[in-house]
Amino acid sequence: DGTVFTGDTYADLEKHYEGDSWLESDQDNAFGCVKQLFLLKKAHRNLKVLLSIGGWTWSSNFATIAASAASRSTFAKSAVTLMKDWAFDGIDIDWEYPASDGDAANMVLLLQAVRDELDAYASEHAPGYHFQLTIAAPAGSSHYSKLRLADLGRIVDYINLMAYDYAGSWSSVAGHSANLYANTDIPQSTPFNTDDAVKAYLEAGVPPHKLILGMPAYGRSFIGASDMGEHHSGVGLPNKAL
């Protein structure tokens, strides 16, 4: 029905970290990641923490939820309630990916519903405070070409461009994971590039200050390939645990 809830109550609310008391009731106190993030916010008062909803694993329900006003309203209200209960500063939507023009239009409506609910909550409980609304957005043209980028740029505070995972186990040849530009010498090694994606978003009307470049803090090795663009037999180190 569009209700937003935690996907891992143990990790989010129950896991005890060093310094947590086992004498405190799990029913009355938050532990887990939520408490650790709250402690970080207390120590660093300008830190903003957002509730991220969706992702590759949890995106399958977005199309249905976004398709009706009732489920959009339920989604927005429950998301803001969860954000409030966990003392977060905004909401991030990671829909991977709208597959049609109808999905793209409904995504805009869903984001507007969340924006309206955030503003209504702020007006009543935190006048003058702006709760952030962001999205994770694709860097592949087959996905971003379906989106209503100008509308997204108008509604959200930031668009976090997923400028990574350009190559991996799903690729037929060894490729760059987060290349800025296309490799004209070995084009098969760069099926995607960040330069084209950024230009497409800007040309579609997304304000430059709202576009955030995502960067991976990891890399991949390709077994059996001695250079970019060569076929491989898998990703990772053979017979070794990382």
Active site residues: 96
Residue whose C-alpha is closest to residue 194's, from 140, 233, 116:
140
CB 15 within 8 A of CB 52: no
Q: How far apart are CA 188 and CA 171, in angstroms?
A: 10
**222-223 and 211-213: which strand pairing?**
unpaired
Start-to-end C-alpha separation, the chain = 41
Residues sharing a CB contact under 8 Å with residue 32, sequence separation 6 or more, in sequence order: 10, 11, 12, 13, 14, 15, 17
